[in-house]
């Protein structure tokens, strides 16, 4: 038995065996793959049953099967055919026609639904200015089915469609690089002069305003009951902040529409819970502890296997003190990051208070911590750990944070 899914030239034969089994066979050349898939190819016997050989075949075969059945019925089925057998053949013909009609109707409805969906979506988007519309407004225009489909695509970053979307020039042009990567004015002018095509120009976020420390907190640094250092807690905050900035492609976060700001607040609460919890008792004494804590929350969301080295370098840039102080503080980048988060949590007084407290705790040891972050990034790159891929495999390290009261003003 030869069975093909696509055919161009078809030679079909039908005969009856000595056991009253009808056999239909086609021999075809697969030189043309554009013909439409259809149902066909079956065996039927005197008991009225058909085999499981329901494969995709050309529409011309269906007409042949029908013609052969009708011809046999009109001729009385030959001298060996009883009235009961002819009734069985009539039933087979009737069933064949009903199933063929059902398939055609299903295909027609499916095609009409697809056309209607595309037409309906184009109508909804007709008067929308994609360049200026807010993301929440665009989201509201989608049906629940369209939203589910979009979310399903974005949850699988390894899918072909997601990779095509992320690789598109439109997406690349719409990406905003983190503000801390923004070159100086002179460097940007030199970069622009080298670019031949404007579409290659990268967009960088504008640096947010540094956090303002209340005068009442300036004298509370390293009070008698304070822990020796909160630098690794600050590292955990910066790692979470860098991840969310890159994940949302919004920089600074406080410049985002309210819907995206709410998303950023939710993610910060999830990835850096000790920042938003009113009764936090977590103190990280090592960088490994800070990385492990964030990693565990990333795993719970199914986003990554290892903390990418790119985030470690981001955190290093944010905590590293400036060699030349131009704006009143050597910790300007850290102050800007804390200020961005401070603006996000305007309604949560306790979070704002904690961010200001962390700003006070920044000290000269930040340069050593920044170097440690850089070394960890290089180590992970040397071990060929993915630096930008987000997949769904689980990974966990032993937690080394200890629970003691954080001392706050």
Domain that holds residue 62: 9-109
Q: What is the pLDDT of residue 139?
A: 84
Q: What is the pLDDT of residue 290?
A: 92
Q: What is the pLDDT of residue 342?
A: 97
| Residues 150 and 272 reside in one and the same domain | no
In a domain, 156, yes or no: yes
| Residues 229 and 376 reside in one and the same domain | yes
- The CA–CA distances, whole Å, from 371 to 83, 336, 366, 367, 387 equal 93, 20, 9, 6, 18
Q: What is the pLDDT of residues 160-171, one digit of tens each?
A: 776 666 666 555
- Can you list the residues of the chain whose pLDDT is less than 50? 1-61, 78-80, 197, 199, 224-226, 301-306, 385-409
Q: What is the pLDDT of residues 301-311, one digit of tens each?
A: 444 444 578 89
In a domain, 408, yes or no: no
Q: What is the number of domains present in the chain?
A: 3
Q: What is the pLDDT of residue 20?
A: 43
Give the chain's largest Cα–Cα span: 112
| Residues 162 and 246 reside in one and the same domain | no
In a domain, 174, yes or no: no
In a domain, 122, yes or no: no
CB 376 within 8 A of CB 249: no
Q: What is the pLDDT of residue 44?
A: 41
| Residues 221 and 366 reside in one and the same domain | yes
Q: What is the pLDDT of residue 344?
A: 95
In a domain, 84, yes or no: yes
In a domain, 148, yes or no: yes
Place of tokens 């944070």: 401
| Residues 270 and 374 reside in one and the same domain | yes
Distance CA(38)–CA(60), nearest Å, equals 9
Beta 282-283 vs 203-204: how paired, if at all? unpaired
Q: What is the pLDDT of residues 70-120, one digit of tens each?
A: 565 555 554 445 666 666 666 666 666 666 666 566 555 555 555 555 567
| Residues 234 and 87 reside in one and the same domain | no
The pLDDT mean for the chain works out to: 69
| Residues 249 and 322 reside in one and the same domain | yes
In a domain, 190, yes or no: no
The three-state secondary structure class of 15 is strand
Distance CA(258)–CA(305), nearest Å, equals 30
Q: What is the pLDDT of residue 304?
A: 46
In a domain, 120, yes or no: no
Cα 175 to its chain centre, rounded Å, is 15
CB 371 within 8 A of CB 195: no
Q: What is the pLDDT of residue 334?
A: 96
Burial of 63 (0-12, 13-18, 19+ CB in 10 A): exposed
| Residues 282 and 225 reside in one and the same domain | yes
Peptide bond into 15 cis (omega under 30): no
| Residues 103 and 138 reside in one and the same domain | no
| Residues 95 and 160 reside in one and the same domain | no
| Residues 54 and 155 reside in one and the same domain | no
Closest C-alpha to 332, from 313, 314, 349, 319: 319
| Residues 24 and 156 reside in one and the same domain | no
């Amino acid at each position: 038995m030869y069975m093909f899914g696509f055919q161009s030239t078809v030679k079909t034969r039908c005969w009856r065996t000595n056991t009253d089994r009808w056999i239909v066979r086609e021999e075809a050349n697969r030189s043309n793959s554009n013909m439409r898939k259809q149902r066909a190819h079956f065996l039927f016997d005197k008991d009225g049953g058909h085999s499981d050989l329901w494969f995709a075949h050309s529409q011309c075969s269906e007409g042949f099967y029908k013609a052969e059945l009708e011809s046999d019925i009109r001729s009385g089925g030959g001298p060996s055919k009883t009235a009961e057998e002819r009734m069985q053949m009539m039933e087979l013909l009737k069933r064949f026609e009903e199933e063929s009609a059902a398939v055609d109707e299903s295909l027609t409805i499916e095609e009409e639904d697809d056309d209607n969906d595309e037409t309906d979506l184009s109508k909804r988007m007709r008067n929308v200015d994609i360049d200026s519309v807010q993301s929440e407004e665009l989201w509201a225009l989608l049906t629940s089915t369209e939203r589910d489909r979009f979310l399903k695509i974005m949850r699988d970053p390894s899918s072909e469609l997601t990779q095509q979307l992320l690789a598109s020039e439109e997406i690349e042009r719409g990406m905003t690089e983190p503000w801390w990567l923004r070159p100086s004015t002179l460097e940007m002018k030199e970069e622009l002069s080298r670019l031949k095509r404007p579409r290659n120009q990268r967009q960088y976020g504008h640096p947010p305003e540094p956090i303002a420390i209340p005068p009442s907190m300036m004298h509370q640094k390293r009070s008698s009951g304070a822990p020796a250092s909160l630098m690794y807690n600050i590292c955990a905050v910066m790692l979470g902040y860098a991840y969310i900035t890159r994940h949302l492609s919004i920089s600074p976060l406080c410049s985002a529409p309210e819907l995206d700001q709410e998303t950023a607040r939710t993610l910060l609460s999830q990835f850096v819970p000790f920042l938003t919890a009113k009764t936090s008792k977590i103190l990280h004494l090592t960088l490994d502890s800070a990385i492990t804590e964030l990693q565990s929350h990333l795993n719970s969301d199914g986003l990554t296997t290892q903390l990418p080295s790119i985030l470690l370098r981001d955190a290093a840039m944010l905590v590293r003190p400036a060699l030349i102080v131009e704006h009143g503080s050597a910790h300007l980048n850290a102050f800007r990051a804390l200020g961005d988060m401070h603006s996000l949590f305007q309604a949560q007084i306790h979070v704002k208070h904690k961010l200001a407290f962390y700003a006070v705790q920044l000290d000269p040891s930040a340069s050593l911590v920044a170097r440690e972050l850089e070394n960890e990034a290089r180590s992970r790159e040397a071990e060929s750990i993915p630096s930008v891929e987000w997949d769904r495999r689980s990974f966990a390290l032993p937690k080394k944070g200890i629970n003691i009261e954080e001392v706050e003003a």
